[in-house]
Structure 1
Amino acid sequence: MTLEERASAAIAPVGVFDSGIGGLSVLRAVHGLLPAERLLYLADSAHAPYGDKPIAFVQVRAEHALERLRAHGCKAAVVACNTVTGLSIEALRARHPGWPIVAIEPAVKPAAQRTRRGVVGVLATRNTVASPGLARLIERHAAGVRVLARACPGWVERVERGELDGPATEAAVAEHVHPLVQAGADVLVLGCTHYPFLRPVIERVAGPGVEVLDPAPAVARELQRRLQALNLLAPPGPAASDLALLTSGDPAAVGAVALRLLGDALRVQAQPLD
């Protein structure tokens, strides 16, 4: 690659993909660490959530999304969906050799290192709880630690609707957090990118003796490392204002919730993924 080609590649956007808008928690972390990068977020909102969908369906949707990000000229992709990571990340990387794909996964390793009682809770979707990816993480990094993985149906839909607090949301959170805390968990892992937007409620329900871990900052650091190794980091300068959101759902509805989640308006466009 010539210097001119490398310089052109460096200013290409980074693609961030999730089933819905939960991955904006990852986009927020990436933008905070790498403010000069252009970011293109792709939400398959018309088919969200993925957490209770058939495995083959999730794999096909994820492949459509990554193909679309490549078509938009993205220099790298961030899979901001634990369900996709757990079910199909190896297949996606095999299908796109040489293209940097950074994937989120539940923070089991740091949780196992930080627990004082030897009990860790993982809050996730049904598919992530049952995925081989989570099983591998527990086997590799949580020897001697009791890991309690709990599916939290309905949480993703609440975030997608912007229902981030209130009595109904607190009750929905307590239904799944209380059993883990009562079982001795002193570290809770947010195993879905939607869940950081419920973090204030989760922390309030769990109580002051329980630590809550969000893996999004680690994803941002891994992206930085990969781009740096490939000489693809955007040149330093003012923060990039090019933060675009593509959605297979209703742009107006998705944009309104994204504004509430991030506090900033994004350019939102319709993007069919069929």
Structure 2
Amino acid sequence: MNSAPLGIFDSGVGGLTVVRAVQELLPSEDILYLGDTARLPYGSKSPETIRQFADEDVRFLISKGVKAVVVACNTATAHALPQLHQQYRVPIIGVIQPGVEAVLEDAGAARIGIIATRGTIRSHAYQHALAQKRTGLLIHGQAAPLLVPLVEENWIGHPATREVLKTYLNPLIDRGIDTLMLACTHYPLLIPVLKDLLPGDVRLVDSATTCAEHLKRELTRLELLASREREGTLELHLTDLSEQFEDLARQFLKKSPGRIHRAVLGP
């Protein structure tokens, strides 16, 4: 199984920030990515629908022979991960627990801000996971629904993006946060702007980097790391193809995505 690819899925192409982080950390691994672009966003769907979609995503990846699956979608992790663990024997890793563990590595972390989609904030998944691991934390969740479309428009450095970010961040800054969790895979692209807007002592924890580091530890523990010394390949599958998604894939990966395949999902 060591030579089998890793499977990574998200509701769109935002999970490619996780792919990029995995490629940097585990350059020998082949990766098969599935973006359910025909049915995005997951954040506005009911928990039952999200669980159904996530199940179909995992089934597709397993049919391609992957050795492990990364749920590179905060909403799907929040609502579907326990069910996926029950249904499948292949190792399945979400993005929430790695982020929580990374926050708590700092013994001094006490006031935690979380920015995410409405669906992720509404699920309270991060809030519950943090509170279960450490008592006494002050946790403030902030839904930030405008950030995904701004990132996808490539308005990273646009004044409008800065103003929207200020609106979302100011209540968290006023509460004296010492840590900010970027609980959406689109948000790592905003790190340069966030660093400019946040007080210098606020620590940033992002889903992509923490997930890649957790994946490496798990693959090492399970003895599933690729053993060959060569550059891994990336195969992209999207449920809806368009020039927009191809441009976004290039933006998230910081390089050409190569040929993109059309994926057909089903029960």
Could you state the TM-score of these two structures normalised by the residue count of structure 2? 0.91
How far does residue 226 in structure 1 lie from its aligned partner after superposition?
2.6
How far does residue 116 in structure 1 lie from its aligned partner after superposition?
5.3
Quick one: which amino acid aligns to residue 240 of structure 2?
A: G
Give me the whole-angstrom Cα distance separating, in 1, the residues matched to 2:130 and 2:214.
20
1:118 to 110, 121, 141: 110
Contact preservation (8 Å) 2:127, 2:139: no
Where structure 1 has 5 or more consecutive residues not aligned to the other structure, the ranges are: 1-8
How far does residue 196 in structure 1 lie from its aligned partner after superposition?
0.8
Contact preservation (8 Å) 2:184, 2:207: no
Matched, 1:185 2:185: no
Q: 5 Å matches for 1:109-258?
A: 109-112=101-104, 114=106, 118-240=110-232, 242-258=233-249
- Deviation by residue 1:138-183 (Cα, 9 ceiling, x = unmatched): 3212411211011111212222333322011112211111110111
Give me the whole-angstrom Cα distance separating, in 1, the residues matched to 2:5 and 2:190.
28
How far does residue 235 in structure 1 lie from its aligned partner after superposition?
1.4
Where structure 2 has 5 or more consecutive residues not aligned to the other structure, the ranges are: none
Residue 35 (structure 2) aligns with: 43
Deviates more, 1:50-59 or 1:62-71: 50-59
Contact preservation (8 Å) 1:49, 1:156: no
How far does residue 17 in structure 1 lie from its aligned partner after superposition?
0.6
Contact preservation (8 Å) 2:102, 2:210: no
Residue 5 (structure 1) aligns with: none
**Secondary structure of 1:47 counterpart:** coil
Matched, 1:261 2:256: no
Give me the whole-angstrom Cα distance separating, in 2, the residues matched to 1:251 and 1:13.
25
Paired residues, what number? 264
Q: 5 Å matches for 1:21-100?
A: 21-96=13-88, 98-100=89-91
Matched, 1:12 2:37: no
Residue 103 (structure 1) aligns with: 94
Quick one: which amino acid aligns to residue 263 of structure 1?
A: K
Question: In structure 2, do the counterparts of structure 1 residues 144 and 136 end up closer, same or farther at CA, with 3 Å as the change threshold?
Answer: same
Question: In structure 2, do the counterparts of structure 1 residues 194 and 216 end up closer, same or farther at CA, with 3 Å as the change threshold?
Answer: same
Could you state the TM-score of these two structures normalised by the residue count of structure 1? 0.89
Cα RMSD of the aligned pairs, angstroms, is 1.9
